[in-house]
Structure 1
Amino acid sequence: MKKKFTAWKDELQHHLDKELLPFWLDRLWDEEHGGFLTQWDKDGKDSGVDEKSMLAHFRSIYSLSLAALHGHDHDGRCQSLATKGVHFAIEHYWDEKYGGFYWLFDRKNNVLIDQKITYGHSFVIYALSTYTLAFGDPIGLEYAERVFDLLQVYVVDTNYGGYWTMLNRNWSLCGPGSAGGDRKTLDIHMHLMEAFTALYQASGKEIHRRKLLEIITQIDEKILHPEFKTGIPMFWEDWTIAPHIKFDIIWGWDRFEGEGGEKEHA
């Protein structure tokens, strides 16, 4: 059995170092407009999709940083590409007026959706904190903390606790129902827990530790089913259970095309 595990480990490491990472390192950067291209066909060719998302951009930074953090940046390309991605996002995707990052762009990096979506910003904090942990670049932690501070000012529900889901560009809540402004979700809080964990690792600040412990408590006491300990998807403001609905803007809804779903902005 030990030999099998060793063989599997070697196979996975070969795939990561020789196939998976090189695939993305060779294709990720948009040489024409800057930013990351993240949609390819089954043959590894550019799909031509005229969209770039904040979410895919920062998930790419996270993946490159995590690979380096665990010793897989053998030629420095992960660091180089992650650094380009961080500085590009700050220059082109950051909202200079209200703070935070816009949600969706066209291929030329023009803003298509300017909403401030908590789900996306959880990955911003996660990615930038991991980037600083991997490479020591303080700008990652600086912007991770700036986003964290914005969430504490605009997204925390000071009445019942927890974090709202969908906000407008100026950080006002979106409308109710499918607009998402009247709901709290399991998804948001689980990803914020990940984000705050990485942020505390990078900063060591007590406020980040305290907010991490706070969200763990909220998940345990509010979100997990009291009997079955499974996650409950959606809640109203006061943490009573809300119907599980599809938001107007949701990542990955195009996965359900052909199964009765209709493509939404990811």
Structure 2
Amino acid sequence: MTDHSKQTANKDISFNLIKLKEEVYDELTQDILPFWAEKMKDLERGGYFGQMTGKNQLIKNAPRGGILNARILWTFSSAAFYLKNNAYLKEAEHAKEYIFNHFFDEEFGGTYWMLNADGSPADTKKQIYSQAFFIYALVEFYRTSGDEVALKKAKELFSLIEKYSFDKDKNGYFEAYSRDWLLLDDVRLSDKDANEKKTMNTHLHLLEAYTNLFRVWKNPLLEMQLKNLIDLFLDKIINFETYHLNLFFDENWACKSFIQSFGHDIEASWLLDEAATVLGDVGTLQKVRNVVFRVADAAVEGLREDGGLMNEKDVVTNHLDTNSDWWPQAEAVVGFFNTFQLSNKESYLKKVFNSWNFIKENLIDKENGEWYWAVSKDGHKDTLNDKTGFWKCPYHNSRMCIELINRIK
């Protein structure tokens, strides 16, 4: 390629990146955030409604999940922090007030799994996955507001997780506890999960939460445990034959699953890189960088020709779930952009554009707002699953937009 051709190619890339940045900015500020602020906010009882069906029917009396509320708090806090918008801070304050008034267990500590629509506890179990998201959100609220009480609550949750959930003998974190912190027999996040003592998913979001907490609190124990979480991914969770993530484990870290989750692969690739960067340990960062591309490339196996990322594969039966749920698509955009930034290889950037175009064409509900739950391989949009609900939150898609707004200079 001649120098002139290189200059032309670089100009084309710059133009396309600027266009991408403008489009995700508009998606965040004109679609996702207004949808949640205008359609999902409960002005009578506080907080946000717990469900809207895939056919856009608001269920005002639906239960309210801790994960949903923590992710709403994180979303508006992060938008306020990076976009310097006071309207988003007010939304974050609305979410934070409801969480403080209803989700915290003042007697035993920690946060409840689920509330009734009136704010009373519906399920008081302490799922570590959920505690992690409250840390993640409270820290983000502290970063934008300076609210020391929010940071104090995040530190308390960290201490509770370390006290009750950390396995001092075999390493890692157990999954779920009763209200008074007794280990439960049924520790599943949802019916589709295996009932195993340790999971990739919980460790991934503890990694995410501890990374955010370490940004603002250089506590020695936190530093040690953040590094330990990174090492657990490198030593136990990443399958070094395939570079996919193993998903479920017993207490001794024996793998108990045969599913490859392409969305978690690409999400972990950039979250691990972020964690090692924030940790600031040169040796750890080098070890992570040695595997980031391989984990991202493993996720590529799930890409369809139309740019959609399939959900998962059962390696025993070879069955493919060819649906493209909303969240793996968002994580694909960030994950492949991260590998592009680290490598400057245009092949990764092409995957970013393909994933974003797939989202625009298939997942964004241009008439009613927000994103559909999923789209099938033949293009059928899923309106049976929720538009918003216990798991359908403004976190993956908002974070995708915020990450690209920040990364594209």
State TM-score, norm by structure 1.
0.85
Counterpart AA for 1:116: K
Counterpart AA for 1:60: I
Structure 2 residue corresponding to 1:199, chosen from 213, 231, 243: 213
Q: Secondary structure at the match of 1:112?
A: strand
Distance 1:18 1:175 in 2: 44
Counterpart AA for 1:137: D
1:56-82 CA-partner distances (Å, limit 9, x unpaired):
000000000111121152xx1211121
Structure 2 residue corresponding to 1:17, chosen from 25, 29, 50: 29
How many Å apart are 1:51 and its aligned residue? 1.2
Distance 1:61 1:67 in 2: 10
Counterpart of 1:122 in structure 2 is 132
Counterpart of 2:249 in structure 1 is 235
Contact 2:207 2:230 in 1 (8 A): yes
- Answer 1 or 2: higher relative contact order, Cα 8 Å, separation at least 6: 2
- The 5-angstrom pairing of residues 242-253 of structure 1 reads 242-243=256-257
Counterpart of 1:211 in structure 2 is 225
How many Å apart are 1:85 and its aligned residue? 1.8
How many Å apart are 1:32 and its aligned residue? 1.7
How many Å apart are 1:94 and its aligned residue? 0.8
Distance 1:4 1:178 in 2: 43
Counterpart AA for 1:8: L
Distance 1:197 1:34 in 2: 30
Higher mean alpha-carbon deviation, 183-192 vs 31-40, is at 31-40
Deviation beyond 6 Å, 4+ runs, structure 1: 255-259
Distance 2:187 2:140 in 1: 34
How many Å apart are 1:240 and its aligned residue? 1.1
1:19-64 CA-partner distances (Å, limit 9, x unpaired):
3222222234311211222533567552335211111000000000
Contact 1:29 1:36 in 2 (8 A): yes
Q: 1:178 to 1:37 in 2, by over 3 A?
A: closer
Q: Does 1:61 align with 2:73?
A: yes
How many Å apart are 1:223 and its aligned residue? 1.1
Contact 2:104 2:112 in 1 (8 A): yes
Q: Secondary structure at the match of 2:49?
A: coil
How many Å apart are 1:109 and its aligned residue? 1.1
1:194-224 CA-partner distances (Å, limit 9, x unpaired):
0000000021222221110011111111111
Q: 1:151 to 1:52 in 2, by over 3 A?
A: same
When the two structures are aligned, how many residues end up with a matched partner?
251
Contact 1:175 1:182 in 2 (8 A): no
1:127-164 CA-partner distances (Å, limit 9, x unpaired):
11111112211112111100000001111111101000
RMSD: 2.7
Contact 1:102 1:116 in 2 (8 A): yes
Contact 1:130 1:202 in 2 (8 A): no
- The 5-angstrom pairing of residues 143-154 of structure 1 reads 143-154=153-164
Q: 1:242 to 1:145 in 2, by over 3 A?
A: same
Higher mean alpha-carbon deviation, 14-23 vs 90-99, is at 14-23
- The 5-angstrom pairing of residues 126-137 of structure 1 reads 126-137=136-147
How many Å apart are 1:182 and its aligned residue? 5.0
1:150-198 CA-partner distances (Å, limit 9, x unpaired):
0011111111010001211111111157697751000011110000000
Distance 1:111 1:176 in 2: 19
Distance 1:118 1:191 in 2: 9
Q: 1:173 to 1:21 in 2, by over 3 A?
A: same
Higher mean alpha-carbon deviation, 219-228 vs 82-91, is at 82-91
Contact 2:40 2:48 in 1 (8 A): yes
Contact 2:50 2:60 in 1 (8 A): no
Aligned sequence identity (%)? 25
Structure 2: tracts of 5 or more residues without a match: 1-11, 260-372, 375-381, 385-389, 392-409
Contact 1:166 1:181 in 2 (8 A): no
Structure 1: tracts of 5 or more residues without a match: 246-254, 260-264
Counterpart of 1:71 in structure 2 is 83
